[in-house]
């Protein structure tokens, strides 16, 4: 049977996994996907991901690519995968791809989001996907600090390159916003819900969580916006703030080509 190149959009709850990439010990997203594909196709399959999410990090729009023999339609493959994978991993869409397509190297940018909720007491149903803070966040100051990340910079303070030594990245978007808690049935005076969006051409290992960690120091009043600029200028990972907890981080979308993403092709956002 002919082997073809495929790409898929994958969502997962990363709480119980050691991250996306296969590890020597412990369950991983890549490992579960490869096991499911081998079971369905009868052949070993290597999966490439657009982002190597860390342990405990989630995804709504992770993109994967793989070469596998499959005689049926992409929709059939999508359904078969979802019937085989664990319940905390779901394939949203499968498409046939050009042989040259690579989920990681073909990507133009990646969008991550980080969720925070503020309340006097913890809310266990939010804890799995958002980081808890006791006091509301000062959005204006947070966005003033986040603006220092925009553009091309050396982000050596905030992460390590997965390969090589280059630590320069280009950030296209870095902003905080408040979200409504109405849909959750929570009164605005009881709980405040926030979302941080960061999009870049690529990220260093641990970069997003260290960036958010610094911004949360600003939110807690222990640092000012100018301190974030000083951290960026230092280019020294030894000066980094502790990384924000993994639970709040989610790989939201990956863009390809001229700003196009698989989600946009399917009419999704």
- Other CB atoms within a 10 A radius of the CB of residue 251 amount to 28
Choosing from 77, 105, 133, the residue where a domain stops is 105
Question: Could you tell me if residue 252 is inside a domain?
Answer: yes
Question: Could you tell me if residue 230 is inside a domain?
Answer: yes
What pLDDT is attached to residue 178? 95
* Residue 86 and residue 159 in one domain: no
What pLDDT is attached to residue 262? 52
Q: Choosing from 13, 16, 54, 75, which is the catalytic residue?
A: 54
Question: Could you tell me if residue 36 is inside a domain?
Answer: yes
What pLDDT is attached to residue 264? 41
Domain span including residue 186 = 109-262
Question: Could you tell me if residue 181 is inside a domain?
Answer: yes
Name the DSSP letter for residue 213.
H
Question: Could you tell me if residue 267 is inside a domain?
Answer: no
Name the domain count of the chain: 2
Question: Could you tell me if residue 49 is inside a domain?
Answer: yes
Evaluate whether 205 touches 161 at the Cβ level (below 8 Å): yes
* Residue 116 and residue 249 in one domain: yes
What pLDDT is attached to residue 268? 33
Q: What is the pTM of this model?
A: 0.92
How do the pLDDT tens digits run along the chain, 269 residues long? 789 999 999 999 999 999 999 998 999 999 999 999 999 999 999 999 999 999 999 999 999 999 999 999 999 999 999 999 999 999 999 999 999 999 999 999 999 999 999 999 999 989 999 999 999 999 999 999 999 999 999 999 999 998 889 999 999 999 999 999 887 887 777 899 999 999 999 999 999 999 999 999 999 999 999 999 999 999 999 999 999 999 999 999 999 985 454 554 333 32
Q: What are phi and psi of 90, to 5 degrees?
A: -135, 140
* Residue 76 and residue 131 in one domain: no
* Residue 77 and residue 155 in one domain: no
For residue 163, the domain's CATH number is 3.30.70.660
* Residue 15 and residue 72 in one domain: yes
DSSP code per residue over 45-82: --EEES--PBTT-EEEEEEEEEEEE--S-HHHHHHHHH
What pLDDT is attached to residue 257? 82
* Residue 55 and residue 74 in one domain: yes
Choosing from 66, 87, 105, the residue where a domain stops is 105
Question: Could you tell me if residue 268 is inside a domain?
Answer: no
* Catalytic site includes residue 127: no
What pLDDT is attached to residue 1? 76
Question: Could you tell me if residue 85 is inside a domain?
Answer: yes
């Amino acid at each position: 049977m002919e082997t073809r190149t495929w790409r898929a959009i994958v969502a997962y709850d990363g709480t119980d996994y050691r991250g996306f990439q296969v590890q020597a010990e412990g369950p991983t997203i890549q490992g579960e996907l490869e096991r499911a594909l081998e079971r369905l196709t009868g052949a070993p399959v290597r999966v490439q991901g657009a982002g190597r999410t860390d342990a405990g990090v989630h995804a709504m729009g992770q993109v994967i690519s793989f070469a596998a023999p499959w005689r049926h339609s992409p929709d059939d493959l999508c359904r078969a995968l979802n019937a085989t994978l664990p319940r905390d991993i779901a394939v949203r869409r499968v498409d046939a791809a050009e042989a040259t397509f690579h989920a990681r190297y073909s990507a133009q940018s990646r969008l991550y989001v980080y969720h925070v909720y503020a309340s006097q007491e913890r809310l266990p149903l939010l804890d799995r996907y958002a980081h808890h803070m006791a006091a509301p966040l000062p959005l204006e100051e947070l966005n003033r600090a986040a603006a220092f990340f925009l553009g091309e910079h050396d982000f050596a303070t905030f992460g390590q390159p997965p390969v090589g030594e280059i630590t320069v990245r280009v950030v296209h978007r870095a902003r905080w916003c408040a979200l409504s808690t109405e849909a959750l049935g929570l009164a605005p005076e009881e709980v405040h819900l926030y979302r941080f969006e960061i999009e870049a051409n690529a990220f260093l290992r641990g970069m997003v969580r260290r960036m958010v960690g610094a911004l949360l120091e600003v939110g807690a009043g222990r640092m000012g916006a100018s301190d974030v600029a000083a951290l960026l200028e230092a280019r020294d990972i030894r000066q980094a703030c502790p990384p924000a907890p993994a639970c709040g981080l989610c790989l939201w979308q990956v863009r390809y080509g001229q700003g196009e993403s698989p989600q946009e092709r399917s009419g999704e956002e």
